[in-house]
Structure 1
Amino acid sequence: MSSEDGKVEGGRGPGDEPPEQLALIRESVRAAKAPRARPRTWRGAALAAELPVARVVVNKGVLHLDQFFDYAVPAELDAVAQPGVRVRVRFGAGAHQVRGGRREGGRLIDGFLVERRADSDYSGPLAALADVVSPEPVLSAELLALARAVADRYAGSLADVLQLAVPPRSARAEGRPSPEPLPPPVAPEPGTWSRYARGEAFLAALARGAAPRAVWNALPGPHWAEELARAVGAALASGRGALVVVPDGRAAGRVDAALTAVLGEGRHAVLTAEAGPEKRYAQWLAVRRGAVRAVVGTRAAMFAPVRDLGLVAIWDDGDSSHSEPHAPLPHAREVLLLRAAHDRCGFLLGGTGCTVEAAQLVESGWAKPLVAPRDQVRAAAPLVRTVGDGELARDGAARAARLPSLAWQAVRDGLKSGPVLVQVPRRGYVPRLACERCRAPARCRHCSGPLEAPEQRELRCGWCGRGEPDWHCAECGSTRLRAQVVGARRTAEELGRAFPAVPVRTSGRDHVLDAVPARPALVVSTPGAEPVAEGGYAAALLLDGWALLSRPDLRAGEEALRRWIDAASLVRGQAEGGTVVVVAEPTLRPVQALVRWDPVGHAQRELAERAELGFPPVSRMAAVAGPAEAVADFLTAVRLPADAEVLGPVPVRQVVPGGPRRPGDPPPGEVWERALLRVPPGSGAALAAALKAAQAARLAKGGTTPVRVRIDPPDIG
């Protein structure tokens, strides 16, 4: 996302035509001027009397085939072959050839019928539609335009986006009728929105049919779900629809409960993977048919076909769950920005933290800030105390058990009145090690994998398994080690021994707790898996903060602050005695932002620094990765915009066979390189178009060496 002439790319004001829409218009004009021909199929075929040509997008997600294909409509399929339905067609070598009155070649694949036409641009004979899978129209013109815009923004194919936008079919769900739509509800009362300076005005604008756009810095506490529900209710009261995208199923459950409490049953649908394919498709159909006008869901719900959108909202846009792992790798925030611009509806980006992208929306003037006065912030936020490196070195309790005396005292005091949350940056038991003097990670001399000491046995590599009995630090020569990050299980064991009469519960990737009772207990959790405590936690410990801050990533500080604030928001306010202890150097900017509870100020300063350095989101970036020769050939062939800058290529992280892999890593054992391409504001669309054209040309020529192109790569640090 980048600013362009004072606006935000992907989120333009009324009257601005996005580049993707202009491209579609130009394509339509060229097609209108081209000579047309009546379809010719095999001898004796009976065609539809009117509009005998079907324009189809096939489920073939390769860039050089990213176009529509024309097919003839047999008379027997005329009634059901309507725009938006799923069809099956012959596709491949010889699919459009006719010899001796019969079709030759091609295989049956699925697709969507997007248009019926009187004639075709194709001069040869057309193959006929093989079948109409279902008469249910699932691809509307609005959803098709959105998918096209997303594909162009991320240099991907339309078919790949449609695979994300339209869920798999369930015949049983299609056979059931959707409920009758309910009349618009009465606009709800503002409730806790009155705590925000412009909160009531935002709801009033939605209720009267306007399209306000806001970045909302939510106060800590449990009210955010109800506040989202009231915003949805205001949009519904105007006779329009609403869409809310949240990072996970637990958040979706909270908003679902809040919507039911505010609006009653039957006014919204929940689209999450936990519902199962059939139930989720039935809910999706109810939305497409107009029976339900409000949707809450996880990432895939960003494409939900809500009719007459009045509001799109996203909660906690910095969570990595909002980034789609499948091609073309869109981010939910960017898709909702496109929808807000195309549908000219309201937009709400909310969270207890604040991303740099959110700060840019406000800085550019495209959205207005929704923040609470400082007295409201101080009343709702817990007291935050810090423990730095100097204090840890002088603290005997910290040297013995990794927890400083201040943390022990906070735990003891908190357990007198309720549960205590302990956030640990990683799960598991085996600690990763680092040099005690300079904190350089302890690496294997053979494969550079991380060294471990399971159950205090001798050092060994976590990747190749080789022992390292005579390790010394390659940076400073020290032979002393410390635990870089101790896992959740080991932390739970340590706390269990220290507080034997207190129950200890863990929440992490393998077993995530949704909620815990108000009774005294220790809850050890990894970031993002923190359960909600009834009445709020009495205290929280945020351990090993330096491990989060020392990651070699441009977003390390922003991400650490987001994780801390998300956890601290579950703690009671200062007035109720809520206390948070963060183990991190107190002079660092993210730590200071947590102490002051000022995520917006932190994001604004980060944005200013990135503007000076030319980093995203002020600039637009793309990553090109693959074997060195293939990357070099690709960079030579691509016609980049004149203002583009090429950074690299440089080697990327190698994956040892059997070692851990991250999204975007090369196959194990292969050596890859990566180049970053950077353009200034206003050239993002041109960069994406150039990369898409070069990749399509390479594939059309039969290129088989993998070259991965990613717009807005998350790891550029």
Structure 2
Amino acid sequence: MSRDDDERREPEGRAAEVPEQLALIRETVREHKERQAPKARPRTWRGAELAATLPVARVLVDKGLVHLDRYFDYAVPAAMDEEAQPGVRVRVRFGAGEREGRREGGKLINGFIVERRADSDFTGRLAPLAQVLSPEPVLGPELLQLCRAVADRYAGSLADVVQLAVPPRMARAEKKPSPRRPPAPRAPEPGGWERYEQGPAFLQALAGKDTPRAVWTALPGAGDWADELARALAATLASGRGALAVLPDGRAAARVDAALTAHVGEGQHVLLTADSGPEQRYRRWLAVSRGAVRAVVGTRAAMFAPVAKLGLAAIWDDGDSSHSDDHAPQPHAREVLLQRAVTERAAFLLGAHGCTVEAAQLVESGFAHPLAAERATVRTVAPLVRTVGDRDEERDEAARSARLPTLAWRAARDGLERGPVLVQVPRRGYVPRLACARCREPARCAHCAGPLEAAGEGAELRCGWCAREAPDWHCSLCGGARLRGSVFGARRTAEELGRAFPTVPVRTSGGEHVLDSVPGRPALVVSTPGAEPVPEGGEGYAAALLLDGWALLGRPDLRAGEEALRRWLGAASLVRGQGEGGSVVIVAEETLRPVQALVRWDPVGHAMRELADRAELGFPPVSRMAAVSGPPEAVTGLLDAAGEAGLPEHTEVLGPVPLPATERGRPRRTGAPPPGEQWERALVRVPRGSGAALAAALKTAQVRRLTGREGPVAHIRIDPPDIG
């Protein structure tokens, strides 16, 4: 036999060794991968050892689709048995369906274990958990129950609400232990609450573990309300229970935080705002979740804070739009805290300088009691309010250079002799609205039809939507080239006041440059609504000018009067009392209801009259309402499906009506049509008490249309803030 024959036979001789070698290679590679990635878990149940007890985990997957608003079962590997407890974050395979009776494939997504079970309703083979992201139980039973209630109320998905309630994980924050909870503080003295008829009794009830519910009309004062709210929180802590206060912005939260620290010291509470950063905020949230801290002061997201043994849920200035979340399902902090007060059997406090119709409804229905001062006390601490109407301005020829009526100019001059003077202007910028000087036609951009505005004296015209310049503008109606300002902003007002009072410093607050405080020395402070800084020293402003009242009252909105009065009261409350010489001048027609309410300082009376008008017309909060918007076929299809799903009795559908098209270049609001598309909106109204049935019917209809792929999707908004 030749050598060539031996060489040809050699591979045949080794053929029997190949399977053994391949098996050895595969085993070596597998062991190497296990050493390199010890956290890797089997993807299927096949070959995986399961937990000895409760081998099924019911998981809420992080998919905010309303037709997936349910739990999914997964197998618990034995290696994860100890860490895979209810409330922890996990990763699971999801989205590829079933194959041969087994859930397989899919992408890795996050989720939360809500329950451990001994068996599953799923008849096939379960896929195992892919990974336990953290052993920290962040979704407790009470928080899960709250999120479910909010999702049902707003016809949304549970995953969307949980995403709002539980902040993103920061691993370093979880590794640090929370501090030990300090002993309960002593109950505070009534302090400013003695000015209210039932104020001391309210604090005593909180300190005695009672659950009073009140709508509090706060007296004017630069920082009095923050101290009074802090005393209510401190009284609740003294009873051994938890407390929660939700504020509209970080500045207001910081004031309450400082006041509460002064009463109870460090370590009793945490401040939850976006200003603290993701890691610090998550560390503070964990301290609350672990029970190391029982009091929370924060902005909107704090409404879900997992405070143990909640004794008081408080909200300040519920009419502020910041309390309504922009993310689905768009819950309002007031409604979430009301839900918590009922389910967790806690006290409830709604406070503001003004009064919304929702607050008036709580009092009229008997759910809450009014907490206000006597009229004699109000007249003492409130400033003197005077008005300048349109007829007064027509007869006024003085002070044209400062765009101020004579009465306002004199109030500013006299106030500057004693301290700072606040000037509230409804709009930001220089001249945000321009019009033709000849025919008064609004100046529009030739490209996108957006409003033209002037950024400063001598600056080129620029579109407020697409930012294009318009150097050669001419009126499209009369051909005129001259412009006049129809609305003047804060910077233009500050410039004119600087010319009228050349020796007085002028400060501005608004937009991206908001001042927290200003010195108590004479100065002119020009601010947009909601951005008014607090004067240092605690004395307040010597005077306030509320300009261009028509700009707030003229909005085509059901809440225009209520919102205007709220803005005016917020500014006027920073002014010294009438006994100290404080005065307010408002440039608006004095016969209007909101203006008269400001003159009399009677926000509750205004809210009760507004509530009576809403009751006569059937508008919220006397009724419950949902807005359905989208393409015409989507709106019609959803309403038909909701009718089949069982809309409550006496349901009334208003519309649908066309929605204004979104101009190209203009920011799109939630629920508004995309540029170039025509949408419709219908309002679905039911009697109060049928809101849960309305939300359930709309959600069922939405699920049916999504699972059946029955055309485009409609947008649902429960309790829309704008129905105008």
TM-score by length of 1: 0.90
- Residue type matched to 1:171 in 2? A
Q: Is the 8 A contact 1:97 1:126 kept in 2?
A: no
| Higher Cα radius of gyration | 2
Deviation per CA, 1:84-113: give whole Å up to 9, x if none.
1001111111367667xxx73211100000
**1:287 to 1:461, Cα distance in 2 relative to 1, 3 A:** closer
What are the ranges of 5 or more consecutive residues in structure 1 without an aligned counterpart?
A: 1-39
Aligned-residue offset at 1:633: 2.1
What are the ranges of 5 or more consecutive residues in structure 2 without an aligned counterpart?
A: 1-42
Deviation per CA, 1:65-96: give whole Å up to 9, x if none.
00011111100000111111001111111367
Number of residue equivalences: 672
> Residue 616 of structure 1 aligns to a residue in which SS?
coil
> Residue 398 of structure 2 aligns to a residue in which SS?
helix
Partner of 1:536: 540
Deviation per CA, 1:268-325: give whole Å up to 9, x if none.
0110000000000000000011111100000000000000000000000000000000
In the TM superposition, what are the counterparts of 1:474-485 in structure 2 within 5 Å?
Answer: 483-485=485-487
> Residue 138 of structure 1 aligns to a residue in which SS?
coil
Partner of 2:396: 395
Aligned-residue offset at 1:641: 2.4
In the TM superposition, what are the counterparts of 1:177-188 in structure 2 within 5 Å?
Answer: 177-188=177-188
- Residue type matched to 2:415 in 1? G
- Residue type matched to 2:138 in 1? V
Q: Is the 8 A contact 2:161 2:329 kept in 1?
A: yes
- Residue type matched to 1:683 in 2? S
Partner of 1:253: 254
CA-atom RMSD in angstroms: 2.4
**1:96 to 1:245, Cα distance in 2 relative to 1, 3 A:** farther
Partner of 2:216: 216
Are residues 1:674 and 2:690 paired? no
Deviation per CA, 1:538-594: give whole Å up to 9, x if none.
111101001100100000000000000000001111111111110000000000000
In the TM superposition, what are the counterparts of 1:635-714 in structure 2 within 5 Å?
Answer: 635-639=639-643, 640-702=647-709, 705-714=712-721
Distance in 1 (alpha carbons) for counterparts of 2:255 and 2:348: 20
Q: Is the 8 A contact 1:419 1:523 kept in 2?
A: yes
In the TM superposition, what are the counterparts of 1:473-552 in structure 2 within 5 Å?
Answer: 483-534=485-536, 535-552=539-556
> Residue 622 of structure 2 aligns to a residue in which SS?
coil
Aligned-residue offset at 1:388: 0.2
**1:682 to 1:442, Cα distance in 2 relative to 1, 3 A:** farther
Partner of 1:31: none
**1:147 to 1:599, Cα distance in 2 relative to 1, 3 A:** same
Distance in 2 (alpha carbons) for counterparts of 1:180 and 1:462: 53
In the TM superposition, what are the counterparts of 1:319-398 in structure 2 within 5 Å?
Answer: 319-397=320-398
- Residue type matched to 2:634 in 1? A
**1:439 to 1:220, Cα distance in 2 relative to 1, 3 A:** farther
Distance in 2 (alpha carbons) for counterparts of 1:550 and 1:403: 20
> Residue 638 of structure 1 aligns to a residue in which SS?
helix
> Residue 167 of structure 1 aligns to a residue in which SS?
coil
Distance in 2 (alpha carbons) for counterparts of 1:480 and 1:198: 60
Partner of 1:553: 557
Partner of 2:588: 584
Aligned-residue offset at 1:501: 1.1
In the TM superposition, what are the counterparts of 1:269-288 in structure 2 within 5 Å?
Answer: 269-288=270-289
Distance in 2 (alpha carbons) for counterparts of 1:468 and 1:706: 41
Partner of 1:143: 143
Q: Is the 8 A contact 1:50 1:118 kept in 2?
A: yes
Aligned-residue offset at 1:699: 1.6
- Residue type matched to 1:677 in 2? V
Aligned-residue offset at 1:643: 1.5
Distance in 1 (alpha carbons) for counterparts of 2:440 and 2:408: 22
Deviation per CA, 1:460-481: give whole Å up to 9, x if none.
97557777634669xxxx9998
- Residue type matched to 2:112 in 1? F
**1:546 to 1:438, Cα distance in 2 relative to 1, 3 A:** farther
Distance in 1 (alpha carbons) for counterparts of 2:566 and 2:476: 36
Distance in 1 (alpha carbons) for counterparts of 2:231 and 2:109: 44
Aligned-residue offset at 1:702: 3.1
Aligned-residue offset at 1:500: 1.3
Q: Is the 8 A contact 1:542 1:583 kept in 2?
A: yes
Distance in 1 (alpha carbons) for counterparts of 2:638 and 2:440: 39
- Residue type matched to 1:43 in 2? R
Are residues 1:632 and 2:633 paired? no
Are residues 1:264 and 2:265 paired? yes
Distance in 1 (alpha carbons) for counterparts of 2:383 and 2:236: 33
Partner of 1:15: none
Distance in 2 (alpha carbons) for counterparts of 1:437 and 1:676: 41
Distance in 2 (alpha carbons) for counterparts of 1:415 and 1:424: 18
Q: Is the 8 A contact 1:548 1:556 kept in 2?
A: yes
- Residue type matched to 1:231 in 2? A
Q: Is the 8 A contact 1:213 1:368 kept in 2?
A: yes
> Residue 396 of structure 1 aligns to a residue in which SS?
coil
- Residue type matched to 2:494 in 1? A
Partner of 2:33: none
**1:244 to 1:440, Cα distance in 2 relative to 1, 3 A:** farther
Are residues 1:66 and 2:69 paired? yes
Aligned-residue offset at 1:499: 1.2
Aligned-residue offset at 1:429: 1.0
Distance in 2 (alpha carbons) for counterparts of 1:399 and 1:691: 56
Distance in 2 (alpha carbons) for counterparts of 1:571 and 1:439: 37
Deviation per CA, 1:573-619: give whole Å up to 9, x if none.
11111111100000000000000000010000000000000001111
Distance in 2 (alpha carbons) for counterparts of 1:595 and 1:169: 50
Greater Cα shift, 637-646 or 593-602: 637-646
Q: Is the 8 A contact 2:314 2:350 kept in 1?
A: yes
Q: Is the 8 A contact 2:430 2:454 kept in 1?
A: no
- Residue type matched to 1:626 in 2? G
**1:115 to 1:458, Cα distance in 2 relative to 1, 3 A:** closer
**1:631 to 1:615, Cα distance in 2 relative to 1, 3 A:** same
- Residue type matched to 1:346 in 2? A
Distance in 1 (alpha carbons) for counterparts of 2:486 and 2:293: 50
Q: Is the 8 A contact 1:625 1:672 kept in 2?
A: yes
- Residue type matched to 1:702 in 2? R
Partner of 1:16: none
**1:393 to 1:291, Cα distance in 2 relative to 1, 3 A:** same
Are residues 1:600 and 2:604 paired? yes
**1:360 to 1:481, Cα distance in 2 relative to 1, 3 A:** farther
Q: 2:95 aligns with which of 84, 92, 98?
A: 92
Distance in 1 (alpha carbons) for counterparts of 2:164 and 2:462: 43
Partner of 2:21: none
Q: 1:469 aligns with which of 467, 471, 474?
A: 474
Q: Is the 8 A contact 1:452 1:461 kept in 2?
A: yes
Q: Is the 8 A contact 1:256 1:270 kept in 2?
A: yes
Are residues 1:618 and 2:622 paired? yes
Aligned-residue offset at 1:150: 0.2
Deviation per CA, 1:350-381: give whole Å up to 9, x if none.
01111000000000000000000011111111
- Residue type matched to 1:496 in 2? G
> Residue 508 of structure 2 aligns to a residue in which SS?
strand
Distance in 1 (alpha carbons) for counterparts of 2:255 and 2:302: 16
Distance in 2 (alpha carbons) for counterparts of 1:275 and 1:161: 22
Aligned-residue offset at 1:402: 2.3
Distance in 2 (alpha carbons) for counterparts of 1:480 and 1:598: 44
Greater Cα shift, 661-670 or 137-146: 661-670
TM-score by length of 2: 0.89
> Residue 244 of structure 1 aligns to a residue in which SS?
strand
Deviation per CA, 1:505-556: give whole Å up to 9, x if none.
1111110000001111111111111000122111111010011001000000
